[in-house]
Amino acid sequence: MAVHFNLRDKSAQSKTSIFLVVRHHGKNYKYSTGLSVDPSLWDASKNRPLSGKLLPLKAKLNDLELKVERAMSEAEYLTAQEFKDLMDRVTGKVEGKDKTYFLQYVREFCDGKTRATLKSTATALVNFITGSSYTQFGKIDWAKVNAKDIRFDDIDFTWRQRFYNYCTDQGLTALYIQQRLRHIAQMLNASRFSKLHSNDINKMRGWADVKNSEVRHTPITLSLEEISRLAALELNEGDAKVRDLFLIGVYSGQRWSDCSRIKPDQVKGNRLYFVQQKTSSKAIVPLDLWAGLVPETLGEILERYDNAAPTLPTCRPDIFFNERLQFICRRAGITEQVQVITTAGGKVETTYVEKWRKVRSHTARRTFCTIWYKGKMSLASIAQFSGHKSVDQLKTYIGLTDEEYQQAAESEAQAARELLLSKVI
């Protein structure tokens, strides 16, 4: 199905009518839009007024194209009269169902724009509203999106809060969530200016207000069994790179900023050398440290990428990485319930969520420290590999529950007691 606009008389010396032309199921349909334009102001290659000219007319044509695409996507074979009757309803010449749909406008609003952050917001909106998991704006299947679209009138503060929660579940910062809400406000303003709706919810106080809440929970880490399940997943090339980059973090104990920048010259013999970007601390990790514990060692994964970090196809690899990592962890069945305590405005709320929702790039570093601590490696030795400057700092990375810490303390106390008793005797 294709939709475009033609002029009744391209060589006219004054205004001429604009016709809608639709090709649907191999048949061409034609319909008078009731609009007109001077041919000298018309760009025939784009089927729109010249750039920067007649913006209200361009907005009307864009609106009509979106409405027609929506209507025709639900239509079967039509006679000429049936097509005319449908277009009469779409254009409002006869009373029909309101079809002011949000995502269809988002598509038109972002299409052709070069701002990556705006398209990132659009992709997030599609995923949130339709339950999809698209990684890039250009890969969205809009035919499938249309079936789950919402109307502008559906956007209220309840919807805004659900979108906010969706963003926080992805681990986005307050600043980045605020940016997304401002993008939505921009889209609502532009579409309201085009008279597609009268919803001005984004003008209400607090629409883009985002405050950091204090969130406390046991540091999220993965078990050896969960790591093995993750490593065994069959994934497409893009998701495999995300998974492997995460495992590089798990097996090296380094931050995302260091794992994502590994170069071949950092591999020397059987060791991987780091000078950490954040603290300038040095760390050296054996490539076979995890041999026998996991399906592939650090060295084997790096060898697959010529001893360099896998590269991700996006201008914001950190955001892309966390979004896809959660999807991959869910596929791996990392669904254990974990407790989350949120404090905002003096109100404390305790909830339980599936673990994959809280997995982030930093989970890799926490997992490294926790697994080796549970394996009885000393904190000093763990810090030697991870690059932590102090044992006290390292303790915050150990993903043990309060009960596990208590049991460890009691076990150490019992060992100390037995040692003291042996000396007394």
Q: What is the pLDDT of residues 71-86, one digit of tens each?
A: 777 666 778 887 887 7
406 — pLDDT class (breaks 50, 70, 90): confident
**What is the spatial distance between Cα 221 and Cα 401, in angstroms, rounded to a whole number?**
11
Number of neighbouring beta carbons within 10 Å of residue 77: 9
Structure tokens at 389: 């400057």
Region of 75 on the Ramachandran plot (φ > 0 left; ψ -120 to 50 alpha; else beta): beta
Structure tokens at 55: 């913006």
- Report phi then psi at 31, rounded to 5: -150, 135
CA angle 100/117/173 to nearest 5° reads 105
- 350 strand-pairing partners: 341
**What is the spatial distance between Cα 215 and Cα 353, in angstroms, rounded to a whole number?**
13
Average pLDDT over residues 399-417: 73
Contacts of 69 (CB under 8 A, 6+ apart): 1, 3, 104, 146
- 344 strand-pairing partners: 347
DSSP string, 158-177: HHHHHHHHHHHHTT--HHHH
Number of neighbouring beta carbons within 10 Å of residue 14: 9
Residue-wise pLDDT for 94-145, tens only, equals 543 344 789 989 998 888 777 888 999 999 999 999 988 888 888 899 888 8
The answer on pLDDT for 271 being more than 80 is yes
For the chain, domains (ranges, CATH) are 2-91 (no CATH), 102-212 (no CATH), 224-405 (1.10.443.10)
Question: Of the spans 58-72, 217-231, 257-271, 342-356, which averages the highest pLDDT?
Answer: 257-271
242 — pLDDT class (breaks 50, 70, 90): very high
- Whether 293 contacts 247, CB under 8 Å: no
Give residue 228's pLDDT. 95
- Whether 41 contacts 49, CB under 8 Å: yes
Q: Which of 238-252, 300-314, 397-411 has the lowest mean pLDDT?
A: 397-411
Number of neighbouring beta carbons within 10 Å of residue 346: 5
200 — pLDDT class (breaks 50, 70, 90): confident
- Whether 187 contacts 105, CB under 8 Å: yes
399 — pLDDT class (breaks 50, 70, 90): low
**What is the spatial distance between Cα 230 and Cα 327, in angstroms, rounded to a whole number?**
11
**What is the spatial distance between Cα 355 and Cα 352, in angstroms, rounded to a whole number?**
9
Which amino acid belongs to residue 301?
Answer: I
Max CA distance (Å), the chain: 114
Average pLDDT over residues 226-248: 94
**What is the spatial distance between Cα 31 and Cα 64, in angstroms, rounded to a whole number?**
12
Q: When comparing pLDDT for 96 and 391, which is higher?
A: 391
Give residue 176's pLDDT. 86
Q: Which DSSP state fits 132?
A: -
Average pLDDT over residues 283-297: 94
Give residue 97's pLDDT. 39
**What is the spatial distance between Cα 89 and Cα 82, in angstroms, rounded to a whole number?**
11
Give residue 99's pLDDT. 46
The answer on pLDDT for 411 being more than 50 is yes
Which amino acid belongs to residue 24?
Answer: H
The answer on pLDDT for 213 being more than 80 is no
DSSP string, 386-406: H--S-HHHHHTT----HHHHH
Structure tokens at 141: 């299947």
- Whether 146 contacts 152, CB under 8 Å: no
- Whether 339 contacts 403, CB under 8 Å: no
Give residue 273's pLDDT. 96
Per DSSP (E only), the strands in 38-113 are: 42-43, 48-49
**What is the spatial distance between Cα 74 and Cα 181, in angstroms, rounded to a whole number?**
31
Give residue 10's pLDDT. 85
- 272 strand-pairing partners: 267, 285
Give residue 214's pLDDT. 54
For 180, 195, 225, 308, 398, the CA distances from 364, given in Å and listed in that order, are 27, 49, 14, 18, 12
The answer on pLDDT for 301 being more than 60 is yes
Q: Which of 2-16, 97-111, 324-338 has the lowest mean pLDDT?
A: 97-111
Give residue 85's pLDDT. 76
Q: What does pTM read for this prediction? A: 0.54
Give residue 27's pLDDT. 85
Give residue 12's pLDDT. 85
Q: What is the dihedral of CA 202, 205, 211, 217, to 10 degrees?
A: -80
